[in-house]
Amino acid sequence: MTDTTKTIDIKSFWRTLGERATGITIVTAQGKDGPSGFLGLSASHVCADPPTMLVSIDDKTAALAAVLDSKAFAVNFLPASARDVADIFMGKSALKGADRFEAGRWGKLTTGAPVFNDVLGVFDCVLEDTVRRGTTTICIGRVVDLTATGSGAPLIFFRGQYKDAGQE
């Protein structure tokens, strides 16, 4: 029988999760008060048929209300050249809320969620379901539009730092 009573502390959980390189995304939505977004490290596909994505959003993240209100979100995959934009959406600048969208060039696809024009790729999604787990809301969206550039190196997050795919 497997012992499942071991308590996992949060710091150990994050340290172990940091051993997995992940692509940097900015998850965006068009809220009642304007555009909203955050740096998302947990965006992933659910399935290809139908094309479906998920993002995990901490309940304290202001963008969660925009996603729930608009019933839509976009997952923007950042290139290595967009570290400055990643920093802004990670909260490493004085820019907050809709002011974050002053950095870079932004457009829209089908849902109206903000799309970073210099992305490697983006999935524009209609919210279909949510799942609550602890302090997080998992948002599942059906892809209704997408774009892929087919060029450039991705910005990744590994062991607590940004890296690009060609970096050691």
Per-residue pLDDT of the chain (168 residues), as tens digits, is 677 778 888 888 878 877 878 889 999 999 998 999 999 988 999 999 999 999 999 999 999 999 999 999 999 999 999 999 999 999 888 898 899 999 889 999 999 999 999 999 999 999 999 999 999 999 999 999 999 998 889 999 888 888 877 544
Q: Is residue 167 part of a domain?
A: no
Looking at residue 163, what is its pLDDT? Answer: 82
Looking at residue 164, what is its pLDDT? Answer: 73
d(CA 157, CA 143): 24
Looking at residue 41, what is its pLDDT? Answer: 87
The residue type of 116 is F
Q: Domain span at residue 99?
A: 21-156
| Torsion angles phi and psi, residue 60, rounded to 5 | -85, -10
- At 46 the three-state DSSP class reads strand
Q: Is residue 29 part of a domain?
A: yes
User: Residue 66 belongs to a domain with what CATH number?
Assistant: 2.30.110.10
- Helix (H), strand (E) counts: the chain: 3, 12
Q: Is residue 111 part of a domain?
A: yes
Looking at residue 6, what is its pLDDT? Answer: 80
Looking at residue 11, what is its pLDDT? Answer: 86
Looking at residue 18, what is its pLDDT? Answer: 77
Q: Is residue 13 part of a domain?
A: no
The sign of the torsion formed by the CA atoms of 59, 114, 128, 120 equals negative
Q: Is residue 74 part of a domain?
A: yes
Q: What is the number of structural domains in the chain?
A: 1
d(CA 29, CA 109): 11
| End-to-end Cα, the chain, rounded Å | 42
Q: Is residue 4 part of a domain?
A: no
Q: Is residue 161 part of a domain?
A: no
d(CA 164, CA 79): 8
